Amino acid sequence: MAKGGSEKSGNEIWDDILQSLEKVGDKYIDSNEAKQIIKEIEDDTKLLIQKK
């Protein structure tokens, strides 16, 4: 997946995704509904990580 000799584990990739979602939510989204959707995606992603 990752190129350039720095392979990331699945969890590291998901961590990057979660951090990106938080940045997008904090910086660009004012709507509480949109923030709630991002929070649900983050929670679902964390559950997927725990199941593996």
Give domain status of residue 35, yes or no.
yes
Give domain status of residue 23, yes or no.
yes
Radius of gyration of the chain (CA): 13
Give domain status of residue 3, yes or no.
no
Statement: the pTM of the whole predicted model exceeds 0.85: no
SS3 at position 5: coil
Cα distance between residue 47 and residue 31, in whole Å = 25
Give domain status of residue 43, yes or no.
yes
Domain boundaries, position 46: 10-51
User: What does the pLDDT average to over 3-21?
Assistant: 75
Give domain status of residue 44, yes or no.
yes
The number of domains in the chain is 1
Q: pLDDT tens across 27-50, in order?
A: 666 677 777 887 888 888 888 888
Give domain status of residue 2, yes or no.
no
For residues 21 and 48, is the Cβ–Cβ distance under 8 A?
no
| 13 vs 25, higher pLDDT | 13
